[in-house]
């Protein structure tokens, strides 16, 4: 229903959402255990969030043993050509299929952190990322609220524009 709304471009589910949650997980990279930031997402999350692929590709439609990393992850590994490189999460092996341009998770740090995106089961998704055309935010939010209320009356509808994700960080600063 939401995809049929005027002003909605793309939608994607996510277990972890940029600017809201992520998971710190241990993974093996070239035999070394590393703690990295992990986002469990649906196949079209990168596109819905407007993340740009620097090299390689985004996820396909099927669940696979593939991951997409950011530039900082590749640079910290010293990988000039990261496509096809392997990582292990627990007992599962994954292959890097793409690299997205860096983005800031914490504006106070002023630098990107190494990030891995992997596909997660839809049943684990806590977030719905909706790409909205310029000027349609309020209308789409109101319409989504009505759809949500019909589908999930026991769960309150909550949303935030991605452009305002870090606003609370800045509003709490006393200089």
* pLDDT attached to residue 108: 55
- The per-residue pLDDT for range 75-98, each reduced to its tens digit, is 999 999 999 999 999 899 999 999
- The per-residue pLDDT for range 23-38, each reduced to its tens digit, is 788 999 998 999 888 9
pTM for the full predicted model: 0.84
> If you write DSSP's letter for every residue of the chain in order, what string do you get?
-GGGSTTEEEEEEESS-TTT--EEEEEEETTEEEEEEEEEE-TTHHHHTTPPEEEE----SS--SEEEEEHHHHHHHT-SS-TT-EEEETTEEEEEEEEEPP--S-TTT-S---EEEEE--GGG--EEEEEE-TT-HHHHHHHHHHHHHHH-TTS------GGGTTHHHHHT---
- The per-residue pLDDT for range 143-153, each reduced to its tens digit, is 999 998 999 89
């Amino acid at each position: 229903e939401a995809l049929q709304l005027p002003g909605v471009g793309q939608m994607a589910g996510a277990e972890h959402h940029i600017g809201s949650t992520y998971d710190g997980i241990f993974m093996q990279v070239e035999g070394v255990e590393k703690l990295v930031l992990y986002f469990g997402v649906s196949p079209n999350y990168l596109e819905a969030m407007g993340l740009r692929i620097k090299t390689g590709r985004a996820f396909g439609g099927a669940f696979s043993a593939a991951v997409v990393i950011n530039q900082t992850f590749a640079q910290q590994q010293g990988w000039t050509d990261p496509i096809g490189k392997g990582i292990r999460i627990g007992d599962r092996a994954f292959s890097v299929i793409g690299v997205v341009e860096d983005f800031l998770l914490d504006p106070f740090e002023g630098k990107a952190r190494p990030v891995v995106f992997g596909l997660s089961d839809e049943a684990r998704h806590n977030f719905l990322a909706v790409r909205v055309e310029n000027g349609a935010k309020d209308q789409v939010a109101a319409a989504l609220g009505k759809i949500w209320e019909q589908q999930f009356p026991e769960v309150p509808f909550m949303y935030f524009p991605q452009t305002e994700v870090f606003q609370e960080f800045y509003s709490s600063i006393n200089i």
